[in-house]
Amino acid sequence: MVTLILSLLLVFNYFKFMDLHIGNEIKRVFENSDLSAEDFANKIGMVRQNIYKIFNKSDINTGLLKNISITLNHDFFTLYAHSIFGENKKIINRIKELEKNLSFANHEIEYLKEINSILKS
């Protein structure tokens, strides 16, 4: 049962991961930087027009993302890590808590069955 739940979590977080629009995040960080579009483009080896195309991308090549991260002094890779692993930790902790509650409830049911059996005798 736990394996099934963990598998479902991975699928859920895969789709959540897919919802991350990296272009929007790059644009947000770029707009808060002191770089002009032309300087930014030059530092990552592109022409200015392509910068605006990057802002519209929902996914990106990791090599390019590395260059952008260095240029903007911002680790964009952690967005993916938090998106995947941060939620999983919360959910896994909740599953463990629910498993303890279920175990307690099962023991309680067995105890009540014994009492019921005694009372019927």
CATH number of the domain encompassing residue 87: 1.10.260.40
State the residue range of the domain holding 35: 2-120
pLDDT digits (tens, 9 = 90+) for 58-114: 889 999 999 999 999 999 888 877 666 656 667 777 777 888 888 888 889 999 999
**Alpha-carbon distances of 57 from 17, 26, 27, 113, 116, rounded to whole Å:** 14, 10, 10, 60, 64
The model carries a pTM of 0.56
Query: How crowded is residue 15: how many other Cβ atoms within 10 Å of its Cβ?
Result: 8
Query: CA–CA separation, 105 vs 75, rounded Å?
Result: 45
Residues sharing a CB contact under 8 Å with residue 64, sequence separation 6 or more, in sequence order? 44, 54
- Pull the structure tokens for residue 115: 């009492």
pLDDT digits (tens, 9 = 90+) for 16-47: 445 678 999 999 999 999 999 999 999 999 99
Number of structural domains, the chain? 1
